[in-house]
């Protein structure tokens, strides 16, 4: 199918749609049609209301895990392959850090149904691994050394700035 034919089909569909929208519905009774035609208090909605800019980095980040160990991070499903949760969490934190120099303050897990302790343990191990990796990344960027080699005062500074990287209870 060439582009001219495709364009004609789209144009024809638009004309049919416009004609259908302009016709009053035959399902309405005359009373309903006259009531809507004379209602002058109704104002058309022209745009989505402005609720302000959403926060770039949430205060608390949620990880949802169901009984089949399907994982969602920020309401996005994580692929079911080894290392997918680690990389998804690390990528999100690094995007937050590189974009705004901020990270979520807390990480919380929500379990839906019965999630086996082994799966929970594997997730916690993955979080600890990501925490350590991101600590090293930030330390190398700010202080040109891995986290365990920087001055304790700098470690404390990073702990105050990025509490999610030091969070023990999830």
Per-residue model confidence as pLDDT tens digits over 58-117? 788 999 999 999 999 988 999 999 999 999 999 999 999 998 999 999 999 999 999 999
Strand-pairing partners, residue 58, are: none
pTM for the model: 0.66
Phi, psi of 7 (to 5 degrees): -65, -40
Q: What percent of the chain has pLDDT over 90?
A: 61
Nearest to 111 by CA among 50, 69, 73, 162: 69
- Going from N- to C-terminal start, the domains of the chain cover 60-166
Higher-scoring residue by pLDDT: 170, 43: 170
């Amino acid at each position: 199918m060439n582009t001219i034919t495709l364009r004609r089909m789209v144009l024809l569909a638009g004309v049919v749609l416009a004609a259908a929208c302009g016709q009053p519905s035959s399902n309405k009774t005359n009373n309903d049609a006259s009531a809507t035609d004379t209602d002058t208090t109704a104002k058309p909605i022209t745009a989505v209301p402005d609720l302000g800019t959403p926060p770039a980095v949430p205060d608390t980040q949620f990880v949802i895990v169901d009984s089949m160990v399907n994982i969602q991070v920020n309401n996005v499903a994580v692929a079911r392959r080894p290392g997918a949760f680690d990389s998804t969490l690390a990528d999100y934190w690094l995007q937050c850090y590189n974009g705004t120099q901020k990270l979520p303050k807390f990480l919380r897990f929500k379990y839906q149904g019965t999630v086996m302790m082994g799966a929970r343990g594997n997730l916690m191990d993955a979080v600890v691994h990501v925490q350590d990796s991101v600590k090293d990344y930030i330390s190398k960027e700010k202080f040109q050394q891995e986290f365990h080699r920087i001055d304790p005062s700098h470690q404390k500074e990073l702990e105050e700035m990025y509490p999610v990287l030091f969070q023990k209870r999830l």
